[in-house]
A and B are shown apart, each in its own frame.
Chain A
């Protein structure tokens, strides 16, 4: 079971607001899914390698050659708030 504190900790990590009336349902739903997921523990995985990439090749690299950048007005065009040619945000230190 995933408890209230754990749900709040995870929500803080994920930067998701959880309103008071959302905490218990979220805990219950996560618990149900995690309960299903834990069935994996029935499997013997000793000596099995983890698969991060299902394609068995190594990385395609990029040559160090410049490509064109976005014009600044395009880069900023979708931002919710802009000032001084930059993306405006609440100060992290505030």
Chain B
């Protein structure tokens, strides 16, 4: 089978054909492995999606995903395989264990032969903050793929992986999915184990799928959710994740929050958003204006809570047990040099910000206040979900921006997550699907639902996906 034909297969279809014997698992996996290896070998001429690619395809277990390879964000620990979180400090780090989310996919038969590039420790919205160089957007190589799961998003969009595993703290799955024209799902907080995912902001981090269609996102999620005794914050997912089959939206009430659909959203992105809403109405949905009055403060709360937690989570990178160390005249100098040289600029900035926010005398004004704002945002959503089933917004305020365009202005970069952060703070599931192109670049449509309503969310996303009929093949390399 040609590469083109293989890429055209959804992961779901590939799994079915491997299962019925019409597609040899080794051929399918090797095709993707070779494409990933070629991108890695191409260095600056490629997309720089990968930080590691296996020399050969390994064995896989029997199961519903038997033989389907999944590209894994570098933030996940994988036993004996470099797990570097995009950081110089962890360059070459080989963990002794595999993250639960990855292990569950492997238990279902999936294989993993590639690790994907990312913003260092998942801090960023462009994948430019990687110690291993920026990834590029397959729609326009001079532009960013978004981030932090930019390597995963670009690889899936470019057909270098059938699907990929990412993580989302304030938008790190949804935003790159939107910028690369693919599907990205952030599940309900607690539904997927965080064990083995190198922590950025523990109370927000969630693993999720990046795929080329909604059913694949549902398929991957089905095999990831569930309580893990190694993660005290993980929960029993209350029901099975279904593969969505709905083609209409009859009876579905969609709320459109004014706060996230006006100010600061590019006209082109807003145009695709409005067209998508019109399609939804055509499928039988009702569209209602709703308000999330606290949502505009989401970024402010997020940029207290996430840096605060990261300042603590990253304290373990001290040059003692693993990772790089820079020697110094004494212990303190060893620490400060190791962390200065090991961490990139954005990580240092966030560690500083978080340390500041937690330091004596500032806790109430920053951390405590941000936690209360978080409560208000969750209450906003609860109120809105009393009258609608789904909340819809553009995923990002802009389409993919140019490499280097926002690196000098942290605040401008942070605004990339303006529409995605409120759902993260509320812990609710949200998905981004491609809404169309703006001057040749993809724009995303974000749909959000109440906690544990992934099935309803995926149903709505699937129906809209069919109606939108987005064609991402122009991004295949």
Q: Which residues of A contact B (CB under 8 A)?
A: 2, 6-7, 9-11, 13-19, 26, 29-30, 32-34, 36-43, 45, 48-55, 57, 59-62, 70, 74-75, 77-81, 87, 89-92, 94
| Cβ proximity bits B318-361 to A, threshold 8 Å, 1 near / 0 not | 11111111011011111111011001000011011101110100
Residues of B in contact (CB 8 Å), total 69
Whether A40 touches B203, Cβ cut-off 8 Å, given contacts A16-B339, A79-B322, A89-B331, is no
The residues of A that contact B439 with a CB separation of less than 8 Å are none
Query: A37, B300: Cβ atoms under 8 Å?
Result: yes
Q: Is B370 an interface residue (CB 8 A)?
A: yes
- What are the nearest 10 A-B pairs in CB distance? A54-B427, A50-B371, A17-B340, A78-B322, A80-B325, A17-B336, A15-B335, A45-B372, A90-B331, A14-B355
- For B348, give the chain A residue with the smallest CB separation: A16
Contact of A10 among B203, B333, B355, B373 (CB under 8 A): B355
Q: Is B189 an interface residue (CB 8 A)?
A: yes
The residues of B that contact A50 with a CB separation of less than 8 Å are 368, 371-372, 374-375
The residues of A that contact B370 with a CB separation of less than 8 Å are 37, 40
Contact of B411 among A32, A59, A80 (CB under 8 A): A32
Q: Is B148 an interface residue (CB 8 A)?
A: no
The residues of A that contact B319 with a CB separation of less than 8 Å are 80
Question: Is chain A's binding surface mostly helix, strand, loop or mixed?
Answer: loop
Query: B229, A62: Cβ atoms under 8 Å?
Result: yes
Whether A11 touches B300, Cβ cut-off 8 Å, given contacts A55-B235, A81-B325, is no
The residues of B that contact A55 with a CB separation of less than 8 Å are 189-190, 233, 235, 427
Of the A-B pairs whose beta carbons lie under 8 Å apart in the complex, a sample of 5, sorted by A's number, is: A26-B349, A40-B297, A43-B294, A49-B372, A80-B320
Complex Cα spacing A28 to B183, Å: 37
Contact of B203 among A6, A43, A52, A59 (CB under 8 A): A52
Q: Is B13 an interface residue (CB 8 A)?
A: no
- Within the complex, the shortest CB–CB distance from B316 to chain A, in Å, comes to 12
Complex Cα spacing A79 to B323, Å: 7
The residues of A that contact B356 with a CB separation of less than 8 Å are 2, 6, 10, 30, 34
With most chain A CB atoms within 10 A of its CB, the pick from B337, B356, B368 is: B356
The residues of B that contact A59 with a CB separation of less than 8 Å are 232
With most chain A CB atoms within 10 A of its CB, the pick from B227, B337, B371, B425 is: B371
- Within the complex, the shortest CB–CB distance from A16 to chain B, in Å, comes to 5
Q: Is B376 an interface residue (CB 8 A)?
A: yes
The residues of B that contact A9 with a CB separation of less than 8 Å are 359
**Inter-chain pairs besides A18-B340, A90-B328, 18 sampled, C-beta below 8 Å:** A2-B356, A10-B356, A11-B352, A14-B339, A15-B315, A15-B318, A16-B339, A16-B352, A29-B410, A33-B411, A34-B356, A40-B370, A45-B373, A52-B371, A60-B227, A61-B232, A62-B229, A94-B331
With most chain B CB atoms within 10 A of its CB, the pick from A9, A10, A16, A81 is: A16
